[in-house]
Chains A and B, each alone.
Chain A
Amino acid sequence: MKFTLSWLKDHLETEASLEEILAKLTLIGLEVEDVINPAETLANFTIAHIEKADPHPDADKLQVCAVNNGKETLQVVCGAPNARAGLLGVFAPVGTYVPGIDFTLTKAKIRGVESYGMMCSESELELSEDHEGIIDLDETAASHIGKSYIEFAGLDDPIIDIYITPNRPDCLGVRGVARDLAAAGLGKLKPADEGYDQKGDFKSPLNIGLEFDDETSHICPAFWGRYIKGVTNGPSPEWLQQRLRAIGLRPINALVDITNYISFDRGRPLHVYDADKVSGTIIARPGKSGESFLALDGKDYDDLEGACVIADDKNPLGLGGILGGELSGSTEDTKNVLIESAYFDPIQIAMTGRKHGIISDARYRFERGIDPQSVETGVNLATKMIIDLCGGKASELIKAGEPPKGTKEIPFDPQRVTRLTGVKLSNQQVTKTLEDLGFTCNDTGKGDQITVTSPSWRPDIDGPADLVEEVIRIIGLDKVTPTPLSRPFGIARPVLTGKQKRVRLAKRALAARGAVEAITWSFIKSDEAALFGGGSPELKLANPISSDMSDMRPSLLPGLIPAAGRNIARGTNDPVLMEVGEVYHSDEADGQSVNAAIIRVGSGSHQGASRHWSGNGAKVTVFDAKADAIALLDALGQDANRFQFTTDAPAWFHPGRSAVIRLGPKITIGVFGEIHPTILKQLDVKGPIVAAEINLDALPEAKKKSTSKGAMELNDLQPVKRDFAFIVSSDTKAGDVIRAASSADKKMITNITLFDVFAGESLGEDKKSLAIEATLQPKTKTMTDEEIDAIADKIIAAVKKATGGEIRS
């Protein structure tokens, strides 16, 4: 919402400076977004006199002028057809920024002749679109040579741009802003102009009407107007054009400018019809799906169902409260007009505006809710301005329907302000503030309880909390005293849940293994989602910001792998990336889980990446990913021995170099392995890449234990180590050998280490040797050789039973 300082002062009697006004606006909720002070931005443009104008030696259309800027006479090359000796115009010296051409002037040679500045047109100062010639001032300017043009022309009115929150339609008119400032102590609200106050000279030859049934009557409860005959339309006066241009509106003609002016001055949108272009009665009615009309913006709009249409006997004339029609609009030739001042339902306006994609000043105001009680004032304001500026005679007021009251009665205890804000105010301070804003306060006779009636221009006021907000924003939020919050405990208690702690730990555990944490988008390309098991219809956005961000990610890997690819493309070798974040399985509340993933590329193994004099980093393998997965589970307090690894990993992994991590047959914890070469090809990333991804939400919660760690088992007896080598078939799993050996004597065997894997011709085809070291821990006395041999026999038997493996002699 833009307005100028002088415009504000039409409504507000104030001694306050611009700075004070700006600061107060921002504090009371009318945030100042921008201030343009033309006296500052256009200060360099001064009044100058062309003393001499000679033809340019090398160009027909140019002239070489001698320009007196009040201090000196400068040579300026000028191409304007109206440049001539004796002209009083506007001069910009070298170094001036000229907004209309977005250029800072430099000393220039134009066709061989030096030029020390510029004689300007109105468009170059962005004062109007006139660029036919340079500004040509009358004699009164002669005594101002060298002075600021902007001040001379009275264009030094600061333009203020404020952001109006959706709840404040009343401040979409300058008067509303003035009312707030007056209430906040920055001056006095001047009495409002009520416009035309006569009965009218004749009965309107045009009639208006409403055609709604009970179900639709709310969309336009009131449509009032007045016929004015014998107007002379044309450009509006300079003061009006200046104000409209200052706030970024293009002056059109007096009739249109008047409605625009009232819209911004009072927040009251109006429409003016050329009465000679409508036939019969103008009515407001529900639109129909088969209708269409040509709007003022030059576009055709069809399917008007759901809209409030203004129509004559033949055609729709416009969308009520949104946009007028081309055919019934006023032009320079308009002689007789009908003013429309109506009230439209905000919701209907919002829906229609959105359906047809129309953005207009009228829609903006109606959908936020204008003052319903302004229907009559609107007609009268427009009548007066039209008669003042265009002449003509006004008819009697014509009315269809009655606007809603728009006021609300709210039972209110003024002490609620203190309860919600902590600021102690007397009942009288509260009621005074509300009354300054246009509320009325009446005693109920029941203690402190009063009845507050909201003004008709405040549709946002609904209950006591709204009244508290009104009071505190006007009194000032700076009056709220910081008050310490009570401490529930002397020393703070831990607040994180087990799951929240896991998220923190997972990030640091993976980073401790050398990974750099990335945060990638929650939405990814559709085909990449599909590659990783996603892409279901319920997880596709209906309105993605781009086709690269259309599907909710099923895994962290389609974010991390392309990120690694981009890093490689930039020359960063062997990236190790990780992410801990949400992935999506369904659109239900429990369809989201927090995963932790790590990827290693090229030679980015945990032992050290890339080339090195001590030995180059080896290419990553599935075991790097397995180590990551186990390290993560370990960091999260999980006993890695509880998990099973099965070889049925999803399709985006190498089928032979990957595994699913399971807890029992039903719970899947995660996956690790080498990424399938086809996937890498589709993502256009050079491998090998290994990855581990764990679903943190699937992990069992740690049982609540006492803080005690339990007694440590001390044992002075020397452990005994024995080595065994087994010949097994080449598809035997090492894990089966280890598990069988461990369980041979669970009491005595404390550890099995697999220290050698060997396959060779000497063993025969399809055979391999697995060598393990078993640690036996005697508990009460040193073991005898016989006891040791007995356990060794048990190990050999257990491995043979489980795998068919023979001890290697």
Chain B
Amino acid sequence: MSELETLEKQFLQAIDQADDLSSLETVRIDALGKKGKISSLMQGLGKMPPEDRKSFGQAVNAVKQAISSALEVQKSALEQAALNQRLETEREDITLPVRPSPVSQGRIHPISQVWEEITEIFADLGFAMAEGPHIETDENNFTKLNIPDEHPARQEHDTFYFNPKPDGSRRVLRTHTSPVQIRTMEASKPPIRIIAPGRVFRSDSDQTHTPMFHQIEGLVIDKETHMGHLKWVLEEFCKAFFEVDDVTMRFRASHFPFTEPSAEVDIGYSKVGDEVRFGGDENWMEILGCGMVHPNVLKNVGLDPDEYQGFAFGMGIDRLATLKYGMPDLRAFFAGDLNWLRHYGFSVLNVPTIAGGL
């Protein structure tokens, strides 16, 4: 075995045996360093006779190549091993809890959610949204809605009053969203198609009544809309809102001063355990009042009842929410209890849409 072959063998063995990067580096310097053994052989080429130089040079180069690549292979193997060893020490207890994201903590109140659900449904039918002030004139809340001063219906409203003004007039907290009908009809010309959701106030408080609650008013005025349209709109609304394919509804004759004819609407349901299932006629639950807008109301806003007609309806948003989502007590709606709000509230990203469901 030539000296060169012996050297090659020794170095390859040393590379193989190097068990960390620093001993590998020692081997590299020993072999290929400036003063390394292989480097010295290359430097010694010059002193050789020219006829030997070529063949010996090629042989040394081959050995150098072999050692270099062996060094590379061993280096990357040792680096991988070192990395593995480090990672082995970097273990976290992934069962430690992380903070919840704010988006998951926030909640939308069920009334806001239901308000948006209702708006989506009626927007699809071309109803715009109208609003009005909570502090109303007696005129808009009662008189123009065909409820004259001494009408017994006024007493049934449990009205909150403000103190009389010097001229004797009194503001009231609106007892229903119907004054928005007046404001809308005074401000715009038919055809009119609006809903008017909002807070209303009555001096009444028990498990099913709160002195403040939310109503939604609907109003359609044109030249041909009749009770058949009213019935269809309410049926379509109930199916969409309660997310059922079919509802049973009962229209009962009733009386409101601002509609004629008037009706109250019940929805059929059955109870399975605590759950309310819509459909059938086992039980009836009143959900809204409605009717054709009274000719006196049309006259009061300057519309000719022989030319224009239409319907109006009003329902309780809070009540719709309890029916759909099963809250037992209306008073809890306004108590601001975080446990209640987290349980009955809605996720921020749960935005009701017609396409995605309500």
Contacts and interface: CB of A to CB of B under 8 A. Distances in A.
B293 to A, nearest CB: 9
Q: Which of A483, A510, A519 has most chain B Cβ within 10 Å?
A: A519
B336 A487 contact: no
A543 interface: yes
Interface string B217-233: 00010000111110111
Nearest to A472: B261
Interface residues of A, number: 102
B255 A166 contact: yes
A465 B126 contact: no
Interface stretch (A263-271, A290-298, A575-583, A687-695): A575-583
Contacts of B342: 516
B252 A27 contact: yes
Contacts of A166: 151-153, 156, 255
Interface in A573-619: 575-577, 580-582, 584, 587-592, 606-608, 612-614
A570 interface: yes
Contacts of A368: 152
B133 A469 contact: no
Interface in A193-214: none
A544 B158 CA distance: 11
A481 interface: yes
Given A421-B226, A549-B211, A515 B253 contact: no
A517 B346 CA distance: 10
Most buried by B among A495, A520, A563, A613: A495
A614 B205 contact: no
A351 interface: yes
B75 interface: no
Nearest to A584: B135
Interface string A470-485: 0011000110111111
A508 B107 contact: no
Contacts of B42: none
A563 B292 contact: no
Interface in A407-425: 419-423
B242 to A, nearest CB: 17
Chain B: interface size category: 35 or more
A577 B336 contact: yes
Interface stretch (B16-24, B59-67, B98-106): B98-106
A465 B299 CA distance: 13
Nearest to B265: A477
Contact of A485 (B171, B225, B261, B305): B225
Contacts of A581: 199
A493 B252 CA distance: 34
B126 A489 contact: yes
B135 A488 contact: no
B252 A477 contact: yes
Interface string B181-208: 0000000000001000001010111000
B123 interface: yes
A497 B196 CA distance: 13
Contacts of A110: none
B267 interface: no
B254 interface: yes
A566 interface: yes
A367 B154 CA distance: 13
Given A512-B102, A519-B333, A466 B260 contact: yes
Contact of A495 (B112, B123, B294): B123
Contacts of B253: 27-29, 469, 472-473, 477
B255 A167 contact: yes
Interface in B329-358: 333-339, 341-342, 345, 348, 351
Contacts of B285: none
Nearest to B263: A477
A98 interface: no
A612 B201 contact: no
B205 to A, nearest CB: 6
Given A420-B292, A508-B351, A542 B106 contact: no
Given A484-B232, A485-B225, A587-B135, 4 more contacts: A29-B252, A422-B228, A481-B228, A577-B336
Interface of A: 26-29, 31, 165-168, 346-347, 350-351, 354, 367-368, 419-423, 463-466, 468-469, 472-473, 477-478, 480-485, 487-489, 492-497, 500, 504, 507-508, 510-523, 537-545, 549, 552, 559-560, 563-564, 566-567, 570, 572, 575-577, 580-582, 584, 587-592, 606-608, 612-614
Q: Which 7 A-B pairs have the closest CB atoms?
A: A563-B336, A511-B106, A422-B228, A473-B253, A514-B102, A29-B253, A483-B228
